[in-house]
Homo-oligomer: A and B are copies of this chain.
């Protein structure tokens, strides 16, 4: 069992990982070695103290270099469920289970709460992981929401399995061009009974589907961690970055505004110190 699991490889996750590493904790860090999409896309950052005026791309590179210098690596898997098991947590990431005494959510802010009724069909037709659940839809009709270019290979993978894929895209310049993939507009709602039956779009179109894959950078906190207390799109934390669930911490944009790198690294640092404290109380 890990001492801690960090979910998210933005500045908050890195800040926490650096502290846990220095304190020689046994932790797993879920995220991308590409680090933060959001930092990467920032044109100019002027108020992260000590680096001067810098492009997001350049700062992201420095963050990555810092992780490499300290010999910490991310595990590039999408965590789709965090379960509070009493005195530890179980994490499901692409069909593998992990266990950790504490968890830090540094998942960024998820602007959308998901589609209407989405959360009611999780495991009943709604999936967040192509490689986990794709095989269930061999020869079937599915819808896919692709939230970022980095998931295009997952869409291609699903298109190999499914007979028909309705694709809704959340970014510009989508490169997917496959015979059985049809582009659709913005998904509004999920409908069905025991299982998903259809999705409907904002333009009113209803499309019968056997499944819906939502490929996003992060899940809504309540989808990821059942029972977590939120306020709108944000996870509720105190000054110690504690959530309402003992052993579960949150840091960075997911805890609220200002959405700033300085705030994120500060919260990641505080969360890591609280995790160290929590572990020492337990042992």
Contact = CB atoms under 8 A, between A and B. Distances in A.
A42 to B, nearest CB: 13
B52 A69 contact: yes
A135 interface: no
A63 interface: yes
A263 interface: yes
A260 interface: yes
B47 A50 contact: no
Contact of A269 (B15, B63, B258, B268): B258
A282 to B, nearest CB: 19
Interface string A42-71: 000011111111000001001101100110
A221 interface: no
A169 to B, nearest CB: 32
Interface in A231-283: 237-239, 257-258, 260, 262-270, 273
A22 interface: yes
Contacts of A266: 262-267, 269-270
A18 interface: yes
A14 interface: yes
Interface in A18-52: 18-19, 22, 46-52
Interface of A: 11, 14-15, 18-19, 22, 46-53, 59, 62-63, 65-66, 69-70, 237-239, 257-258, 260, 262-270, 273
